[in-house]
């Protein structure tokens, strides 16, 4: 019988092990036994906590998304201007724990699985919408809604593309270089917006940091 109070610890260990195993394999072909061995528990205990490998994989994605959201909420609350909010979103997207090789490989494996799993697809759509919404929260005060949406689409596509490039390992980019590329894109796009559509240096109200993604 599992020890009382150990379930949260064991569940987290299994999620962390799943992420590491998936990243190492570069696919979701890992078995529950391999994940359990990585976590230092029995396969029977892994099945006790998650029921199946599929349920463990779903929880692994949710864990990544929860951490990404929590980090974004903190960063956005600390941003004092709309432009700073954009930079905060970009920076969070490339922070070390999300841009680590194993995690990048796992993200790509999850995207591949989304072609077959409706639940995985739904979770990745949530991620994409949240990223777009967070970028819009900084862009809209700086330019019209149309340009804000267009620039947000481009920035999100660059972020996803840099993850794909990172997975190739042939010419990996550093975190700072990746952040700089997306920042340069946003800066260039904002410069192309007619001056009359850009507020000079708008500030945020105390409530501005509590947008849709803070719920």
Average pLDDT over residues 123-152: 94
pLDDT tens per residue, range 53-76:
889 999 999 999 999 999 999 999
What pLDDT, on the 0 to 100 scale, is given for residue 203?
Answer: 47
pLDDT higher than threshold 80 for residue 41: yes
Please state at what angle helix 32-39 crosses helix 43-50, rounded to 10 degrees: 100
* % helix, strand, coil for the chain, step of 5: 75, 0, 25
* Angle between helix 7-25 and helix 32-39 axes, rounded to 10 deg: 120
Contact indicator for 167, 27 with CB cutoff of 8 Å: no
The contacts found for 67-72 with CB under 8 angstroms, 24 or more apart, are 67/97, 67/98, 68/92, 68/98, 68/127, 69/130, 69/213, 71/95, 72/130, 72/134, 72/213
pLDDT by residue (tens digit) across 82-122?
Answer: 999 999 999 999 998 888 888 888 898 899 889 999 999 99
Q: What percent of the chain has pLDDT over 90?
A: 55
* pLDDT over 60 (residue 35): yes
Give the integer Cα–Cα distance in Å for 176 and 63: 25
User: Is pLDDT at 196 greater than 80 in this prediction?
Assistant: no
pLDDT at position 99 is 86
pLDDT of residue 4: 54
Q: Looking at the predicted structure, is the pLDDT value of residue 212 above 70?
A: no
Predicted TM-score (pTM) of the model is 0.81
């Amino acid at each position: 019988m599992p020890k009382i109070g150990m379930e949260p610890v064991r569940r987290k260990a299994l999620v962390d092990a799943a992420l590491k195993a998936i990243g190492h394999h570069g696919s979701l072909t890992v078995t529950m036994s391999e994940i359990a061995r990585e976590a230092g528990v029995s396969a029977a205990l892994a099945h006790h906590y998650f029921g199946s490998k599929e349920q463990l994989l779903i929880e692994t994605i949710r864990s990544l998304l929860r951490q990404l959201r929590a980090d974004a909420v903190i960063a956005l609350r600390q941003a004092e201007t709309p432009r700073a909010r954009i930079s905060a979103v970009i920076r969070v997207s490339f922070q070390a724990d999300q841009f680590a090789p194993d995690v990048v490989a796992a993200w790509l494996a999850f995207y591949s699985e989304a072609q077959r799993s409706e639940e995985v697809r739904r979770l990745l759509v949530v991620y994409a919408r949240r990223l777009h919404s967070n970028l819009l929260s900084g862009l809209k005060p700086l330019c019209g809604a149309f340009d804000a949406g267009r620039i947000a689409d481009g920035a999100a596509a660059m972020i996803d593309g840099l993850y794909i490039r990172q997975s190739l390992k042939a010419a990996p980019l550093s975190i700072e270089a990746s952040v700089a590329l997306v920042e340069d894109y946003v800066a260039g796009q904002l410069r192309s917006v007619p001056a009359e559509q850009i507020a000079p240096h708008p500030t945020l109200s105390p409530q501005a940091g509590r947008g849709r993604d803070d719920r």
